[in-house]
Amino acid sequence: MRVLVFGRRGQLGRALERAIEADVVGPGREEVDLRDADALRHAVHDAGPDVVVNAAAYTAVDRAESEEEEAARVNAVAPGVIAEAAQARGAACVHFSTDYVFDGAKRTPYVETDEARPLCAYGRTKLAGEAAALASGALVLRTGWLWSLEKPGFVTRVLADVRAGRTVRAVVDQVGGPTSCDALAAAVATIVARGAGAIRERWGLLHASSGGAVSRFEWAKALAAGAVPVEEARTEEFGSAARRPAYSVLDCAKLADVFGVRLPAWDAR
């Protein structure tokens, strides 16, 4: 089996390459411009894959507020082109979306049929990308609070403060389900192993996130493990350009029903 991964050199792409037991290929950002539809089509055609996985995205959430058109070219347009090209070759397509498509007004985990009402440009562009990929029969996996040690982010910042002996400040009014790239990649590898036919038969929208719910403050406390003080903060104190959902926990029961896959709890050891 040959699996073509867009975004292969990103944090999720690297995890996918480690987890998927197949011939994994994928162009780098310098080889294929995600904003170039013809280049994307040629990449799919030339690779001749059985499965195409799109792990590439414009993820600068705050910058997207002033670059929404640019973000849309990568997050909204490219997924549709990739899924259409995969469908034309008879390949299955897996695309990733985000919990930021929701407004955070709920206080119980979001299911796939809940109305998506993104608060920011990043969420809007990712929601448009979902629709574009689904239109060509892709399997779309929404995830949330994705992290790894290979890319600067919340986890690496907290751990850097811990190493430096600095007090950590984290917001208490954002609640989600932290999902490691390795855990998500392992789940996707299990799905891919079922074969392209199984993915095409079960295409649609599914939630794929680690179990449990935690605030960023509680998450930071778990990461710090008592080594340094952790202080509560409120979202507005950080002056972020983009609005983020206050609650974005995902209900992943359907993923287990459809593919028999369940990600571990966010704090699993």
Pair of tokens at residue 33: 């411009």
- To which residue do tokens 């605030």 refer? 215
Is the Cα dihedral 195, 196, 202, 208 positive or negative?
A: positive
Pair of tokens at residue 78: 């490219």
Task: Give residues with Cβ within 8 angstroms of 66, minimum separation 6.
Answer: 241
DSSP 247: B
Partners of 137 in the β-ladder:
none
| Exposed / middle / buried, residue 231 (Cβ in 10 Å: 0-12, 13-18, 19+) | exposed
Query: Residue 122 catalytic?
Result: yes
Q: Are 70 and 77 in contact (CB under 8 A)?
A: no
Q: Are 44 and 89 in contact (CB under 8 A)?
A: yes
Strands in the chain per DSSP E:
2-6, 23-25, 51-54, 92-98, 139-143, 146-147, 168-171, 175-176, 179-180, 204-207, 214-215, 230-233
DSSP 166: P
Out of 58, 100, 110, 122, which one is annotated catalytic?
122
Residues with catalytic annotation?
122
